[in-house]
Structure 1
Amino acid sequence: MIRTTLALLLLCGPAAAAGTISGPATVIDGDTIEVQGTRLHLYGIDAPETAQSCETAKGREYRCGRDAARALRARIGAAPVTCERREPAVAGRLVGLCHVHGEDLSAWMATQGFALASRHLTTAYVAQEGHAWATRRGIWAGTFEKPADWRKDRRRVEASAVADE
């Protein structure tokens, strides 16, 4: 049994070993999709949360997290998405390097300024983030709180509210 499994993995290559999944995708938020009932965090990026707000260069508040999800949804459209699972899992969630029409979705989101590179995991998207910053695209056109900091602050506020009850 073990030999058969190893032989199949060797024949199918690294994609099979990593776990490839393909099909129509549902966008959950700017860095999370669901493919064939499997929820995957896009590898190497961190997008604003759906409820998160940012400010334009003129100080107008807008829902940057919602905009990130909309942009990802529009980029994918009705096309099938192919994801190769990556390690390590982020906060217990599966991670995938996902492509649509051969294009790396994480790279696209970072280049468009809808997501930050997750430097603690990989430097793969730092150049794309730098391009977005240099051209003031997406969230870089104004001011924003890093999504990880926003989540941390949100958890702290929620924990404080529970403690006050």
Structure 2
Amino acid sequence: MKLTVVAGVLLACGVAKAAEPLIGRASVVDGDTIDIGKTRVRFSGVDAPESWQRCRDGDGGEYRCGHAAAMALDRFLAASRPTRCELAGRDRDRRIGTCFRADGTDVNRWLVENGHALEWPKYSKGAYADAQRSAQSNGLGIWRGEFQLPCEVRAKRWKREARCD
């Protein structure tokens, strides 16, 4: 009886309630980060090239692959608003989550599927492995040429050891 009363009080106060999703118009910060209102959200389980990162295309030319990823994400999100994010944690000043367009499309998966981001298995636990294999075999996005892992590029720029595990 006491346990039932305590559980009822907790539910009534919202203590035991699951986190509410964050919903709103997304502003793209970079290929794997958006702002919804004043909340910054980093997409869970993926790693996109940095906005200043350069990659080689299939013809050997260089292009700003991080900028291209951010622009593709912006167009993709604009096609079906608002964006909804299921938040699962925190990283520095950002929330971590899986986000969806208004039509239900998983944004994290779309980024990997189209070669705009890589799966980060340490955090995704393999959830996007099939999407990455598809992008790679079809030569989409960064897979159309040569690139360095975003985590290696960041480490080199900030002169520290790469942590890409």
What TM-score, normalized by structure 1, do the two folds share? 0.84
Q: Which has the higher helix share?
A: 1
State the shift of 1:2 in Å. 8.4
- Correspondence 1:1-165 to 2 at 5 A: 4-7=9-12, 8=14, 17-77=18-78, 79-87=81-89, 89-90=90-91, 93-100=94-101, 101-122=103-124, 123-156=126-159
| Amino acid across the alignment from 2:72 | A
| Amino acid across the alignment from 1:117 | E
| Separation in structure 2 between the aligned mates of residue 49 and residue 2 of structure 1, nearest angstrom | 46
| Separation in structure 1 between the aligned mates of residue 135 and residue 58 of structure 2, nearest angstrom | 15
Percent identity reads 36
| Separation in structure 1 between the aligned mates of residue 138 and residue 8 of structure 2, nearest angstrom | 53
Consecutive unaligned residues in structure 2, runs of 5 or more: 1-5, 161-165
1:121 is paired with a residue whose SS is helix
Query: What count of residue pairs does the alignment treat as equivalent?
Result: 151
Question: Deviation string for 1:94-150 (max 9, x for gaps)?
Answer: 101100020000100000000000111121111101100010100000000000010
TM-aligned CA distance change 1:134 to 1:91, over 3 Å = farther
1:17 is paired with a residue whose SS is coil
| Separation in structure 2 between the aligned mates of residue 37 and residue 55 of structure 1, nearest angstrom | 35
| Separation in structure 2 between the aligned mates of residue 37 and residue 4 of structure 1, nearest angstrom | 31
| Separation in structure 2 between the aligned mates of residue 3 and residue 28 of structure 1, nearest angstrom | 41
Consecutive unaligned residues in structure 1, runs of 5 or more: 11-15, 158-165
State the shift of 1:47 in Å. 0.3
1:41 is paired with a residue whose SS is strand
State the shift of 1:9 in Å. 5.9
Instruction: Determine the structure 1 residue equivalent to 2:163.
Output: none
Runs of 4+ deviating beyond 3 Å: 1-10, 89-92
What TM-score, normalized by structure 2, do the two folds share? 0.84
| Amino acid across the alignment from 1:6 | L
